C-alpha cells in the first residue's frame, strides 16, 4: 500500500510541476506581451489561482510524509521523549482532522465542478474542473499519509513499551 501511495505522490508531483510551469509560462508571456504590445492576458489571474491551489494540495502528501511542513519547535528541546511523542501524535491527529475536513469540502466542490464541466468565466474558456479535481486528490493522499503516520506512531509506541 505504501508503494502505491508513493507512486501516486510522484504522479501528483509531476502534475504539480506542470501546473507551476504553466503558471510561470503564462506569467512570463503576460509580462512580455503587456510591455511590448500593450496587451495583457485576460485569464491570467483565474488560471494562476486555480493552478496554485491545485499545486498546493498535490504537494501536500510528500511534504507531510517528509515532515517538511512548518512547525513550531520552540520548546521541543525542553521536552522529554514521551512528551515529544505525545505532541507528535496530537499534532498528526489534529492535522488529520483539519485536512480531512478540507478534503471533504474539496470533494464536494470538485464533484459539482465535474458535473457541469466547469470552465473559466473569462473569454478563454479554459477548463477548471480538472484542476478542481486535482485538489481533493492531493488532499486525500495527504489524509492517507497522515493515517499511516498515526498507525506508525501507535504501533511503534507499543513496540517500544514491549522491548523495555
Quick: pLDDT tens for 47-88: 888 899 999 999 999 899 888 877 777 788 888 888 888 888
pLDDT of 1 reads 60
The residue among 107, 110, 102 whose CA lies nearest residue 64 is 102
Query: Mean pLDDT across the stretch 8-21?
Result: 93
Query: Mean pLDDT across the stretch 135-161?
Result: 84
pTM, entire model: 0.82
Q: What percent of the chain has pLDDT over 70?
A: 95
119 forms beta bridges with 127
Which structural domain, as residue segments, surrounds residue 16? Answer: 2-163
127 forms beta bridges with 119
pLDDT in tens, 92-127: 999 999 999 999 999 999 999 999 999 988 777 889
The number of distinct structural domains making up the chain is: 1
Amino acid at each position: 500500500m505504501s508503494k502505491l501511495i508513493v507512486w501516486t505522490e510522484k504522479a501528483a508531483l509531476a502534475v504539480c510541476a506542470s501546473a507551476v510551469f504553466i503558471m510561470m509560462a503564462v506569467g512570463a508571456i503576460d509580462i512580455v506581451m503587456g510591455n511590448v504590445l500593450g496587451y495583457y492576458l485576460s485569464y491570467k489571474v483565474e488560471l494562476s489561482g486555480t493552478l496554485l491551489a491545485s499545486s498546493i494540495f498535490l504537494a501536500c502528501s510528500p511534504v507531510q510524509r517528509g515532515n517538511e511542513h512548518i512547525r513550531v519547535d520552540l520548546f521541543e528541546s525542553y521536552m522529554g521523549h514521551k512528551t515529544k511523542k505525545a505532541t507528535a501524535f496530537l499534532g498528526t491527529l489534529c492535522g488529520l482532522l483539519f485536512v480531512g475536513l478540507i478534503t471533504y469540502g474539496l470533494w464536494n466542490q470538485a464533484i459539482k465542478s465535474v458535473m457541469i464541466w466547469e470552465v473559466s468565466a473569462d473569454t478563454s474558456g479554459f477548463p477548471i474542473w480538472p484542476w478542481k479535481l486535482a485538489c481533493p486528490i492531493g488532499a486525500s493522499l495527504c489524509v492517507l499519509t497522515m493515517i499511516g503516520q498515526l498507525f506508525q506512531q501507535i504501533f511503534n509506541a507499543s513496540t517500544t513499551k514491549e522491548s523495555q
